[in-house]
Amino acid sequence: MRAGRRVPGQPWELAVALLGVLSSALLVAVALAPANDPQHAGRAKFAQQAGDVEDVVAAEWTRMRADLAAFELEAPTRWSAADLEALERLPAERAREPGDAPAAPETTLFELLLGEALRLEAQHQADEARSAAGEALAQASGATGRARAALVAIRCARALGDDDAAREAWNAVADELEGHELDADVPLLAACAVAVAPSLDPEARAALQLRLVDVVTAGRLALDEAPLREAWLERIAALTPDGAAGERLREHERLRRLAQLAQARPAARLPERPADGAWRFEPHPARSALLAWRADGLDGVHAGFVTRAELLAAFVARLERLQLLPPDFALDFGLPGGLPTGERVRERRELDSAGLGFELFHAAPDAAAARAGRRVALLRAALFLTAALSAAASFATARALRRSRKLAELKSSFVASVSHELRTPVASILMLAENLEAGHVSEPAARTRYASLIRREAERLRRLVADVLDFSRLERGRQLELRRESRALEPLLAELGEAAREWAHKHGVELALDFARVESNAASVDVDTDTLRRALENLLDNARKHSGSSEVALCARAERAALHLEVRDRGRGIPPEQRAKIFEPFERLESASGAGGAGLGLAIVREIAREHGGEARALEPEDGIGARMEIELPLEQSPESGT
């Protein structure tokens, strides 16, 4: 087959190779797509994970807002819708006017007398103290000063068991006091009333209690501090055993607190019908706390105060208890104490209208993204590997198809060649035999020549049949049948040289023998002599048929523990790119296509050499002319060789 010649089946090989290249290119394109970039995919996966963490935290905040037990509220209280409506009717605490401030000492004599009365009272000299207080009361001109002196006089009279004197001191100031008079944060009206109450009859005591309740609900009782207010309200409620006044005071205080909470909101009042039962949080404008409130059914609310730090601490504890925050993630709620370790991975997420929110941090976001992209990296590597395997498989398939096609062609050519090679010696033998049988050859010399020709053609036929049988055996995986024996080199080479001379004489070839580079005491070789002789005859016959030259040389040399047998010619030579191919079955040089033969001779030579543990190869000619074929066989080292 000539190079570049189009043969049947070649488009299929190209189609298979092209299909493999296209599939590999598609796999590579998929692997190189942005979605399969490990860094991009890792960052996207980490961003999705961070978003999921944010959503989980926000969802848990929503669940927590519906849980009353989650918050430690400051005095949580319930108000009904009617309470909310009462805000509009509830009087505000009256602002103290400058004239309501405690009056300056009226006279030096009043202060001296009142001071003396207080000193004597402290020394348990009640009688002298009452007398001094009475004199101070007579000297006082303002309501506050008169109330101070009357309070001391009432206490001293009560200590002496003089109820009449106690009532007399009370009556001296009762009509003057309005409720806003103070003495060192002591409401003088309430103090005098509570002090004189045990000296009054039940009816008068009830009337006095009713007066105090009216003053409190009207917002005129000067009680600014919450602890003092609650203590005085309890004393007022305890003036009579009837609990109606106490219930009225408690209801008033509840509505008063609701008013304060309503004033703490940005709007004027709490909504009457909140949409759901979740807690709401709003900043208190006058204190560092949050107003917390939620619906109670459809007609009321719960409300109270909670600090931002306490609320968020409860939320963080809840997250830790439920283990909702993955490792290496942290939250920053903007509280004092510094930022969490790591890098900010998300913008601030608002949780409530009160400004509650958080930022998400991660200890090592780049490492987390790399871990997240590891799976995509493995997928990309798998795609690249699959692409490589697809390309390799397609080329291997195309090569196998080409080799199979070529082998089929070679076998077809082999059958044709063998048929021709068999036909030629058979025809010659038949023709020579017919001439002998017909008596056309009568002379003894001619008959001898005919017999020699018949023998030569029969030998040629025998060799051809032997080559076909040997190759058939090798193709089935069976080894050649060798009868190897250890032979010294000198007699072996002499026998091979004699056989080569007979071959050269028979075929009219000029043969040169060169065994000079083999020492007489060289090692022996384990060889089947007949098979080796046949391999050399194949090389010699190949040189005779394909070189175009009648000069052939057989050389031998022993070196590197091996015997090298070479057949050289001075013919057209073998191209370097075809030197390895000519030992393949059915392979023949294109330039020698008309030289005959089945294309099995050199393949059998290579198998014979390999069966002996050696190798057959085509070498570069020393002077660049002709061909140089070699059989290399391992030597058996003798003790005399020293190796």
Whether residues 600 and 527 fall in one domain: yes
Q: How many domains does one find in the chain?
A: 3
Domain contains 59: no
Measured between alpha carbons, how far is 452 from 376 in angstroms, rounded to an integer? 81
Residue 636: DSSP 8-state: B
- Structural domain span for residue 176: 98-264
Same domain, 387 and 534: no
Do 433 and 483 fall within a single domain?
no
* CATH number, domain containing residue 235: 1.25.40.10
* pLDDT reported for residue 29: 74
pLDDT in tens, 209-264: 888 888 888 778 777 655 677 788 888 888 888 778 888 888 777 777 766 665 55
Place of tokens 């909504």: 271
Same domain membership, residue 226 and residue 118: yes
The single residue listed with the structure tokens 């306490």 is: 310
How far is CA 30 from each of CA 169, 375, 386, 395, 494, rounded to the nearest angstrom?
Answer: 104, 15, 11, 21, 70
Q: Are β-strands 329-332 and 343-344 bridged in parallel, bridged antiparallel, or unpaired?
A: unpaired
Tell whether 524 is covered by a domain: yes
Cβ-contact 1, 350 below 8 angstroms: no
Amino acid (one-letter) located at 14? L
Domain boundary among 385, 416, 437: 437
> Which of the listed residues 242, 264, 286 is the one where a domain comes to its end?
264
Q: How far apart are CA 582 and CA 396, in angstroms?
A: 22
Q: 420 and 490 in one domain?
A: no
State the Cα torsion 193-198-201-203 to the nearest 10°.
50
For residues 418 and 502, membership in a common domain is answered with no
Give a yes or no: residue 160 inside a domain: yes
Torsion of Cα atoms, 13 then 14 then 18 then 20, to 10° = 10
Residue 432 sits in the same domain as residue 525:
no
Q: How many CB atoms sit inside 10 A of residue 38's CB?
A: 19
**3-class DSSP state for residue 271?**
coil
Provide the H-helix boundaries in 242-293.
244-264
513 located within any domain: yes
Cα angle 240, 246, 251 (rounded to 5 degrees) comes to 165
**DSSP letter (8 states) at residue 624:** S
Residue 596 and residue 515 share a domain? yes
Radius of gyration of the chain (CA): 63
Task: Please check whether residue 400 lies inside any domain of the structure.
Answer: yes
In a domain, 300, yes or no: no
**Spans of the chain, pLDDT less than 70:** 1-12, 27, 31-32, 34-36, 67-108, 224-227, 258-277, 284-288, 295-304, 337-338, 373, 376, 380, 406-424, 460, 467-480, 520-522, 586-599, 637-643
132 shares its domain with 249: yes
Structure tokens at 435: 């001439």
322 in a domain, yes or no?
A: no
Give the span between the Cα atoms of 67 and 70, in whole angstroms: 6
pLDDT at 3: 35
The torsion angles phi and psi of 636, rounded to 5 degrees, stand at: -95, 115
Same domain, 427 and 483: no
| Token pair for 237 | 């409620």
In a domain, 119, yes or no: yes
Q: Which residue among 217, 239, 264 closes a domain?
A: 264
Same domain, 528 and 412: no
Same domain? For 488 and 420 the reply is: no
Sign of CA dihedral 26, 31, 35, 40: negative
- 390 with 16: CB under 8 angstroms? no
Which pLDDT does position 567 carry in this prediction? 92
Q: What is the CATH number of the domain that holds 550?
A: 3.30.565.10
Tokens 């001293």 found at: 156
